[in-house]
Amino acid sequence: MIAVRQEDVVRALKKFRRLAKQDLLASGHTSEPDFWRAQAEVRRETYARLIEAVEQRGVDAAYREAVEAYAALPLLREGQKDPRISGSEQAFEMFFHVVGVDAKEMTRMRNGRRRRPYSESSDPVTVRVGV
């Protein structure tokens, strides 16, 4: 059971979503604007889905759904970059920190993800919370 109050989780996720919006606006000033724009958009979308899950089903249910969605993300090999995967990964990890998942558990969850065949031209798995 997650001990963090629902209101506190929603407030934190809304702050993260605003930060992702700022990153979206700043992406045009980076060396890879398309990558950073896409990554920020995915983070905003993931935070929005997490907020909806927490508000509608509660923190515990949202946590369980997030763990499943995080586990379904492909684990990229060194040097591979995909803004959708990295954006989702970052958003889920921030959520896990907010609800009190410790570093050891985060490492276990990350290591539990599978490496899947991946190429930059392929469309990565679309991960949804609460679907």
Q: What is the pLDDT of residues 78-116, one digit of tens each?
A: 778 899 999 999 999 999 999 999 989 988 888 888 665
Q: What does the pLDDT read at residue 84? A: 94
Show the domain range for 64. 6-112
| Residue for token pair 């919370």 | 129
Tell whether 70 is covered by a domain.
yes
Tell whether 31 is covered by a domain.
yes
Tell whether 117 is covered by a domain.
no
Tell whether 81 is covered by a domain.
yes
DSSP state of 115: P
Tell whether 128 is covered by a domain.
no
Tell whether 120 is covered by a domain.
no
User: Hey, which bits of the chain come out as E strands?
Assistant: none
Mean pLDDT across 12-33: 95
Confidence of residue 130 (pLDDT cuts 50, 70, 90): low
Q: How many domains does the chain have?
A: 1
Tell whether 64 is covered by a domain.
yes
Encoded tokens for 83:
């803004």
Q: What does the pLDDT read at residue 128? A: 54
Q: What is the pLDDT of residues 29-81, one digit of tens each?
A: 999 999 999 999 999 999 999 999 999 999 999 999 999 999 889 887 777 88
Q: What does the pLDDT read at residue 44? A: 97
Q: What does the pLDDT read at residue 88? A: 95
Tell whether 119 is covered by a domain.
no
